[in-house]
Amino acid sequence: MGDYVFIMIDLNKEKFNIKDKVITLYKSSDINAPLIVFNTFEGDGEDVYQALQNMGCTSINLLVVGNIDWNHDMSPWYMPSIYSKEKSFSDGADDYLRLLIDEILPKANEMIEGEPGFTGITGYSLAGLFAVYAMYKTDAFDRVASMSGSLWFHDFMEYCKRNDCRKLPDKIYFSLGDKEANTRNPILKTVEDNTRELSEYFKKLGSEVIFELNSGNHFTDTILRSAKGIKAIL
Protein backbone atom coordinates (compact mmCIF):
# COMPACT_ATOMS: atom_id res chain seq x y z
CA MET A 1 0.00 0.00 0.00
CA GLY A 2 1.20 3.52 -0.72
CA ASP A 3 2.14 6.22 1.74
CA TYR A 4 -0.68 8.69 2.45
CA VAL A 5 -0.32 12.43 2.89
CA PHE A 6 -3.56 13.63 4.49
CA ILE A 7 -4.70 17.26 4.78
CA MET A 8 -7.98 18.48 6.25
CA ILE A 9 -9.31 21.36 4.17
CA ASP A 10 -12.82 21.94 5.55
CA LEU A 11 -15.84 19.95 6.68
CA ASN A 12 -16.46 18.31 3.32
CA LYS A 13 -13.23 18.61 1.29
CA GLU A 14 -10.26 16.43 2.10
CA LYS A 15 -7.04 15.90 0.18
CA PHE A 16 -4.60 13.02 0.22
CA ASN A 17 -1.80 11.68 -1.97
CA ILE A 18 -1.23 8.10 -3.05
CA LYS A 19 1.94 7.49 -5.05
CA ASP A 20 2.12 10.48 -7.40
CA LYS A 21 -1.63 11.06 -7.56
CA VAL A 22 -3.26 14.02 -5.82
CA ILE A 23 -6.75 13.08 -4.66
CA THR A 24 -9.55 15.33 -3.44
CA LEU A 25 -12.64 13.88 -1.78
CA TYR A 26 -15.76 16.05 -1.55
CA LYS A 27 -17.73 14.29 1.15
CA SER A 28 -21.46 14.15 1.61
CA SER A 29 -22.87 14.27 5.12
CA ASP A 30 -25.51 11.75 4.03
CA ILE A 31 -24.99 8.14 4.99
CA ASN A 32 -24.59 5.76 2.04
CA ALA A 33 -24.39 8.53 -0.57
CA PRO A 34 -22.95 7.33 -3.91
CA LEU A 35 -19.22 7.54 -4.54
CA ILE A 36 -18.30 8.95 -7.95
CA VAL A 37 -14.75 8.89 -9.33
CA PHE A 38 -13.81 11.78 -11.62
CA ASN A 39 -10.38 11.62 -13.25
CA THR A 40 -9.31 15.15 -14.13
CA PHE A 41 -6.80 16.65 -16.54
CA GLU A 42 -5.95 19.49 -14.16
CA GLY A 43 -7.05 21.02 -10.88
CA ASP A 44 -8.91 19.43 -7.98
CA GLY A 45 -12.43 19.37 -9.47
CA GLU A 46 -13.85 22.05 -7.20
CA ASP A 47 -15.47 23.81 -10.16
CA VAL A 48 -17.24 20.60 -11.16
CA TYR A 49 -18.28 19.93 -7.56
CA GLN A 50 -19.70 23.44 -7.23
CA ALA A 51 -21.59 23.03 -10.51
CA LEU A 52 -23.10 19.82 -9.12
CA GLN A 53 -24.11 21.60 -5.92
CA ASN A 54 -25.76 24.33 -8.00
CA MET A 55 -27.69 21.61 -9.85
CA GLY A 56 -29.02 20.31 -6.53
CA CYS A 57 -26.74 17.26 -6.40
CA THR A 58 -25.81 17.46 -2.73
CA SER A 59 -25.98 13.77 -1.79
CA ILE A 60 -22.76 12.70 -3.49
CA ASN A 61 -19.22 11.78 -2.54
CA LEU A 62 -17.06 13.08 -5.40
CA LEU A 63 -13.59 11.54 -5.60
CA VAL A 64 -11.39 13.60 -7.90
CA VAL A 65 -8.03 12.15 -8.98
CA GLY A 66 -5.48 14.62 -10.30
CA ASN A 67 -1.83 14.76 -11.35
CA ILE A 68 -2.63 12.14 -13.96
CA ASP A 69 -0.09 11.39 -16.68
CA TRP A 70 -2.85 11.99 -19.21
CA ASN A 71 -1.63 10.27 -22.39
CA HIS A 72 -0.22 7.37 -20.36
CA ASP A 73 -2.60 6.68 -17.46
CA MET A 74 -5.77 7.08 -19.53
CA SER A 75 -4.61 5.06 -22.58
CA PRO A 76 -5.52 1.35 -22.81
CA TRP A 77 -2.73 0.56 -25.29
CA TYR A 78 -0.14 2.25 -27.47
CA MET A 79 -1.30 4.61 -30.21
CA PRO A 80 0.83 7.13 -32.11
CA SER A 81 0.07 10.78 -31.51
CA ILE A 82 -2.61 12.25 -33.73
CA TYR A 83 -0.69 15.54 -33.80
CA SER A 84 3.00 15.84 -34.65
CA LYS A 85 3.98 17.92 -31.61
CA GLU A 86 2.13 15.87 -28.98
CA LYS A 87 3.13 12.80 -27.00
CA SER A 88 2.03 9.40 -28.22
CA PHE A 89 -0.50 7.43 -26.20
CA SER A 90 1.11 4.73 -24.06
CA ASP A 91 -0.49 1.78 -22.33
CA GLY A 92 -0.74 2.96 -18.73
CA ALA A 93 -4.46 2.44 -18.12
CA ASP A 94 -4.15 -1.01 -16.56
CA ASP A 95 -1.52 0.11 -14.05
CA TYR A 96 -3.47 3.21 -13.11
CA LEU A 97 -6.72 1.25 -12.78
CA ARG A 98 -4.94 -1.17 -10.44
CA LEU A 99 -3.83 1.77 -8.26
CA LEU A 100 -7.36 3.19 -8.30
CA ILE A 101 -8.98 -0.11 -7.31
CA ASP A 102 -6.38 -1.38 -4.85
CA GLU A 103 -5.43 1.81 -3.02
CA ILE A 104 -7.38 4.96 -3.88
CA LEU A 105 -10.94 3.60 -3.68
CA PRO A 106 -10.39 1.67 -0.42
CA LYS A 107 -8.98 4.81 1.21
CA ALA A 108 -11.95 6.88 0.02
CA ASN A 109 -14.41 4.26 1.25
CA GLU A 110 -12.88 4.53 4.73
CA MET A 111 -13.45 8.28 4.75
CA ILE A 112 -17.11 8.57 3.68
CA GLU A 113 -20.24 8.11 5.78
CA GLY A 114 -21.44 4.51 5.62
CA GLU A 115 -21.14 2.43 2.45
CA PRO A 116 -21.62 4.02 -0.98
CA GLY A 117 -25.08 3.44 -2.40
CA PHE A 118 -23.28 2.76 -5.67
CA THR A 119 -19.91 3.55 -7.19
CA GLY A 120 -19.49 5.30 -10.52
CA ILE A 121 -16.57 6.23 -12.74
CA THR A 122 -16.59 9.33 -14.91
CA GLY A 123 -14.32 11.48 -17.00
CA TYR A 124 -13.95 13.94 -19.85
CA SER A 125 -12.01 13.34 -23.08
CA LEU A 126 -9.40 10.58 -22.57
CA ALA A 127 -10.77 10.06 -19.06
CA GLY A 128 -14.14 9.35 -20.68
CA LEU A 129 -12.45 6.67 -22.78
CA PHE A 130 -10.84 5.28 -19.62
CA ALA A 131 -14.21 5.14 -17.84
CA VAL A 132 -15.61 2.90 -20.58
CA TYR A 133 -12.44 0.79 -20.68
CA ALA A 134 -12.69 0.22 -16.92
CA MET A 135 -16.00 -1.62 -17.45
CA TYR A 136 -14.04 -4.38 -19.17
CA LYS A 137 -11.36 -4.67 -16.49
CA THR A 138 -13.15 -4.49 -13.14
CA ASP A 139 -16.56 -5.06 -11.56
CA ALA A 140 -16.01 -2.18 -9.12
CA PHE A 141 -18.25 0.31 -10.91
CA ASP A 142 -22.03 0.29 -11.12
CA ARG A 143 -22.43 3.37 -13.34
CA VAL A 144 -20.34 5.11 -15.97
CA ALA A 145 -20.27 8.59 -17.54
CA SER A 146 -18.11 9.40 -20.55
CA MET A 147 -18.24 13.09 -21.42
CA SER A 148 -16.80 13.92 -24.85
CA GLY A 149 -14.94 10.62 -24.54
CA SER A 150 -12.04 9.91 -26.90
CA LEU A 151 -13.91 7.08 -28.56
CA TRP A 152 -11.91 7.66 -31.73
CA PHE A 153 -9.06 5.74 -30.07
CA HIS A 154 -7.55 3.10 -32.38
CA ASP A 155 -9.30 -0.30 -32.20
CA PHE A 156 -11.41 0.72 -29.20
CA MET A 157 -14.76 0.04 -30.85
CA GLU A 158 -13.57 -3.40 -31.90
CA TYR A 159 -12.26 -4.07 -28.40
CA CYS A 160 -15.63 -3.25 -26.84
CA LYS A 161 -17.47 -5.60 -29.17
CA ARG A 162 -14.96 -8.44 -28.96
CA ASN A 163 -14.93 -8.57 -25.17
CA ASP A 164 -17.42 -8.82 -22.32
CA CYS A 165 -17.80 -6.25 -19.54
CA ARG A 166 -16.77 -7.51 -16.12
CA LYS A 167 -20.03 -5.99 -14.91
CA LEU A 168 -22.54 -4.30 -17.21
CA PRO A 169 -23.36 -0.93 -15.61
CA ASP A 170 -27.02 -0.30 -14.88
CA LYS A 171 -26.65 3.26 -16.20
CA ILE A 172 -24.25 4.72 -18.78
CA TYR A 173 -24.06 8.33 -19.98
CA PHE A 174 -22.38 9.49 -23.19
CA SER A 175 -22.11 13.07 -24.41
CA LEU A 176 -20.42 14.91 -27.23
CA GLY A 177 -20.24 18.38 -28.71
CA ASP A 178 -22.10 18.75 -31.98
CA LYS A 179 -19.00 20.21 -33.66
CA GLU A 180 -16.47 17.64 -32.46
CA ALA A 181 -16.63 15.55 -35.62
CA ASN A 182 -16.24 18.63 -37.84
CA THR A 183 -12.53 18.15 -38.42
CA ARG A 184 -10.20 17.19 -41.24
CA ASN A 185 -8.42 14.72 -38.99
CA PRO A 186 -9.64 11.30 -40.19
CA ILE A 187 -9.25 9.75 -36.72
CA LEU A 188 -11.05 12.44 -34.73
CA LYS A 189 -13.73 12.58 -37.40
CA THR A 190 -15.05 9.17 -36.25
CA VAL A 191 -15.90 10.29 -32.72
CA GLU A 192 -19.59 11.04 -33.17
CA ASP A 193 -20.36 7.90 -35.16
CA ASN A 194 -18.45 5.80 -32.64
CA THR A 195 -20.14 7.41 -29.64
CA ARG A 196 -23.60 6.91 -31.11
CA GLU A 197 -22.77 3.33 -32.06
CA LEU A 198 -21.49 2.45 -28.58
CA SER A 199 -24.55 4.05 -27.02
CA GLU A 200 -26.80 1.76 -29.05
CA TYR A 201 -24.56 -1.23 -28.38
CA PHE A 202 -24.76 -0.93 -24.59
CA LYS A 203 -28.47 -0.19 -24.79
CA LYS A 204 -28.98 -3.53 -26.58
CA LEU A 205 -26.93 -5.26 -23.89
CA GLY A 206 -29.41 -4.04 -21.29
CA SER A 207 -27.94 -0.89 -19.73
CA GLU A 208 -29.96 2.28 -19.33
CA VAL A 209 -28.09 4.54 -21.74
CA ILE A 210 -28.30 8.31 -22.11
CA PHE A 211 -26.71 10.02 -25.12
CA GLU A 212 -26.58 13.81 -25.17
CA LEU A 213 -25.35 16.03 -27.99
CA ASN A 214 -24.24 19.39 -26.63
CA SER A 215 -23.61 22.60 -28.52
CA GLY A 216 -20.00 23.36 -29.35
CA ASN A 217 -16.63 21.72 -29.86
CA HIS A 218 -14.53 19.55 -27.56
CA PHE A 219 -13.45 22.47 -25.39
CA THR A 220 -16.85 24.15 -24.93
CA ASP A 221 -18.33 24.25 -21.41
CA THR A 222 -16.18 21.39 -20.12
CA ILE A 223 -17.07 22.03 -16.47
CA LEU A 224 -20.80 22.17 -17.12
CA ARG A 225 -20.69 19.11 -19.39
CA SER A 226 -18.74 17.17 -16.77
CA ALA A 227 -21.25 18.05 -14.06
CA LYS A 228 -24.21 17.21 -16.31
CA GLY A 229 -22.73 13.79 -17.03
CA ILE A 230 -22.19 13.01 -13.37
CA LYS A 231 -25.69 14.21 -12.49
CA ALA A 232 -27.16 11.98 -15.20
CA ILE A 233 -25.95 8.79 -13.51
CA LEU A 234 -27.04 9.70 -9.97
The per-residue pLDDT for range 26-58, each reduced to its tens digit, is 999 999 999 999 999 999 999 999 999 999 999
- SS3 (DSSP) at 141: coil
* Edge-to-edge strand list for the sheet holding 61-66: 4-8, 13-18, 21-26, 61-66, 35-39, 119-124, 143-147, 171-177, 208-214
Residue 232, pLDDT > 50, answer yes
Task: With CA atoms as reference, report the closest residue to 23 among 82, 144, 104.
Answer: 104
**pLDDT above 80 for 11:** no
At residue 10, the pLDDT reads 45
pLDDT score, position 140: 98
Domain total for the chain? Answer: 1
Domain coverage including residue 173: 4-232
Q: Does the predicted model carry a pTM greater than 0.75?
A: yes
Q: What's the CATH number where 25 sits?
A: 3.40.50.1820
Q: How, if at all, do strands 21-26 and 13-18 pair?
A: antiparallel
